[in-house]
Chain A
Amino acid sequence: MDRAAIIGVGMTKIEANKNRETFADMAWEAVNKALNDAGMSIDDIDNVITTSSDFWDGRTISCMAVGDAAGAADKNTSCVEGDGTYGAFYGYVRTLSGSYKTTLVVGHSKGSQCISSLITNAAFDPIYERVLGLDMITACAMQANAYLNRTGLKPEHMAMVSVKNHRNALKNPMSQLPMNITVEDVLKSEMIADPLRKLDCSPVSDGCCAIVIAHESVASKFRQKPVWIRGLSFCTDSFFFGDRDLSRSNSLVEAAKAAYKMAGIEDPKMEIDVVELYDAFSYQELLWLEEMGMTAYGNAARLLEKGEFDMEGPLPVNPSGGLLAGHPVIAAGLYRIAEVVMQLRGDAGEHQVKKAGTGLAHGVNGLCGQSHCVWILDKER
């Protein structure tokens, strides 16, 4: 297989309500930033992939609202519905299939216009499950309980994730919720769905992110230093919760394994220097880290407590502040990729981690992590 690299990234600031901007306005900003970052003009882009969701956008054929602003008007284009990491995956294969050399991928979301509970309720089975009133938060509360029960951990362990990520966000100018908080603050915040308190949950956010993927034959042709795509994979678990063990995530285990194999990584904990993962809820950072093989099941909280996942620790996790500090739903995974790219280039500014040669970016689709997408990026080819 040929190789590809990410040669430009652009993101809007993540905000609670960009009420002065349309989807197209946000896409215009992120795409132009990505093109500037790459040292390209839109004429250098061969094809465009948008990532959007009819449900989250409240529009049928939601890609229609951003395509032109993303520069797709007279280019080959398509749309992935789901997290931005999946859109980027499709952009990656299009770059390698012999048809195109450069692919622009853009993902947007305006949570401020959404009723998240109704939208995520519509992801459940229409006959058997929706009437129970399940939505993403109540479902994830069940998963959090299953995880705490299985591991013997306590809500204060989840709370430590929130403390760390909000603190990291203090150094990220793009984040929505930079905060200096304590475990006490998290445990005293409003109970949303037991055991998830307000500060265990990611906020409602607006934002847009864009990246440029280039085939190896042109990756060094433009101004920006390429960050190489070393390995990537995605995997989808069963739909019904009764068919899954909610306290675990088999599909993440498999996606991570496949991505490591492609990247030639044998010991992820030692070989990966920085992780940006999909922490929609505090407990997820612990569970996802364990299932992606960074530590034994049930052990992440202990390492977190020791500071191993801090900005200065041996494996910084979510130095950007993660989703807990800003969660534009469909774009969130693309933000993870862009953040890792900036870390590996040494361009992350105040939230730059010390050693960053190899990084992992992670995205999620569906309920309670039914589907996971894992990217391994590298400074070196």
Chain B
Amino acid sequence: MAKRVAIVGTGQTFHKSHRPDVNGQELINEAVQRALADTNLTMKDIDVVLIGNMDHFEGINYVDCWSVDGSGGVMKPVIKLTTGGTTGASLAIGGYHMVGSGMFEKALIIGWEKNSESDTTGAITTAFDPIWDRQVFAGAISGLAAEAQAYMARYGASDRDGARVSVRDRKHAMNNPHAQLRKEVILEDVLASPMLADPIHLLDVCPRTDGACAVIMVSEDVAGKICSKPDWIWGTAARHSYAYLSDASFGRLTSMEKCAKEIFKKAGIKESRKEIDVIELYQPYSFAGLIWIEDMGIIGHGEAPQYVWDGNTDMGGELPINPSGGVISCNPIGATGLIRCAEAALQVMGKAEARQVPDVNFAVSTGFGGCFWTDMLLHGKNKPN
């Protein structure tokens, strides 16, 4: 029989644009030690290690094998998952299945990236078809700008609406000691920051970060013994299709819509806006904080700007989004999706300190990457049926 799975501990590194004080293994180890300390477990207790990043950022092949001195994986099963920006969330989903199968009791899940060693856009460009896409559609930001433009054209949104999301997340980051960028900004700061790809300004987008995150997932048989208030995983979903970019339908994130419908249906959530208490959204730029919550079904198409302007997604609002400050405050890419998962877990466990949302019953964490892909996890206070 399949086992129910819970997160019992998390660990994040000190995040910074450049961590010359540590190499990759040491960075990984920093997160692992913190997750172990959080659970009072030692490496001896860990049955399987899942690790991921994006190879071409650091230029290290077989990272699962290379990283064992940092991950603690020597003479243990170590497996690598890599799905681009979604990697961290894909790892969390991987841990869920490893434990849920009954094959392993305790899984250590590690996402990491040392972006300071990378040519990020140079590497991301090679994800696309070498003949048809690569020459015309470089890196991550151009696709996002196309999405934002399509949304603005369709629903009459403005760059001020995007900037409002940025102001929110950057304010939230003030409460999170793990965020890389902790500087409050006002709307005018965002709009006056350099234009990168119309309508995206510098302060609308994520930084590049050195950092790692580790999460410990365990089976229902031991969750209660390790943690008095574990974060139960209620469901996972992922959609990764690839349209040639010229065929893509920009302006709607269909992968998000499909994941949300699948997960909410499985969990019996009918009114997501009322039943979900907090979202950690993999939101690499501000406009995604509008478009994608519509696709998640939180609010109707075209209604997100008003919903956000009314403060509903701020701390203290109806449905706080990114209490951690989100991806635009901190983005070690291979870890970013796992940080969303860890932050959602902290919220459910009541351990989010200054960024805690009160009384969280259900939390959602997501990953974004690839070619407009979504990974999603539903976290809950109660053990799923």
Contacts and interface: CB of A to CB of B under 8 A. Distances in A.
A124 to B, nearest CB: 8
Nearest to A255: B77
A76 B237 contact: yes
Contacts of A82: 62, 64, 79-80
Main SS class of interface, B: mixed
A223 interface: no
Interface stretch (A203-211, A235-243, A337-345): A235-243
Contacts of A96: 2, 100-103
A281 interface: no
Contacts of B69: 238-240
A239 B65 CA distance: 6
Contact of B103 (A93, A239, A240): A93
A137 to B, nearest CB: 15
A367 B73 CA distance: 16
Interface string B231-264: 0000011111110000000000000001000100
B240 A72 contact: yes
A378 B100 CA distance: 24
A41 interface: no
A63 interface: yes
B239 A76 contact: yes
B242 A68 contact: yes
A379 to B, nearest CB: 22
A92 interface: yes
B98 A61 contact: no
A92 to B, nearest CB: 7
Contact of B73 (A62, A81, A236, A254): A236
A276 to B, nearest CB: 21
Contacts of B78: 234, 236, 371
B74 interface: yes
Contacts of A125: 66
A93 B97 contact: yes
Given A74-B239, A78-B90, A98 B75 contact: no
Given A68-B241, A122-B60, A234 B102 contact: no
B59 interface: yes
Contacts, number: 193
Nearest to B55: A54
Interface in B126-169: 126-130
Interface string A54-92: 110011111111011000111111111110001001101
A93 B74 contact: no
A366 interface: yes
Given A99-B236, A366-B64, A63 B79 contact: no
Contacts of B130: 59
Contact of A76 (B77, B82, B238): B238
Contact of B101 (A53, A60, A65, A93): A93
B1 interface: yes
B227 interface: no
A1 interface: yes
A97 interface: yes
B62 A233 contact: no
Given A54-B56, A74-B258, A239-B66, A97 B80 contact: no
Nearest to A93: B101
Contacts of B123: 60
Interface string B36-70: 00000000000000001011100111111111110
B126 A366 contact: no
A121 to B, nearest CB: 8
A120 interface: yes
Nearest to B258: A74
A71 to B, nearest CB: 10
B81 A81 contact: yes
A98 B100 contact: yes
Contact of B68 (A93, A94, A95, A236): A236
A233 B76 CA distance: 10
B319 interface: no
A97 B63 CA distance: 26
Contact of B80 (A68, A81, A119): A81
Contact of A236 (B59, B75, B236, B241): B75
Contacts of B103: 1, 92-93, 96
Given A72-B241, A74-B241, A79 B74 contact: no
Nearest to A258: B77
B101 A64 contact: no
B99 to A, nearest CB: 8
Contacts of B52: 81
A295 to B, nearest CB: 23
B64 A54 contact: no
A72 B239 CA distance: 8
A35 B29 CA distance: 42
Given A90-B81, A119-B61, A122-B60, A2 B102 contact: yes
B80 A78 contact: no
Contact of A99 (B66, B80, B97): B97
12 contacts: A58-B126, A60-B84, A63-B370, A64-B240, A72-B241, A74-B239, A78-B94, A80-B81, A93-B100, A96-B103, A122-B60, A235-B76
Interface of B: 1-3, 52, 54-56, 59-69, 73-84, 90, 93-94, 96-103, 123-130, 236-242, 258, 262, 369-371
Interface of A: 1-2, 53-55, 58-65, 67-68, 72-82, 86, 89-90, 92-99, 119-120, 122-123, 125-126, 233-240, 250-251, 254, 365-367, 370-371
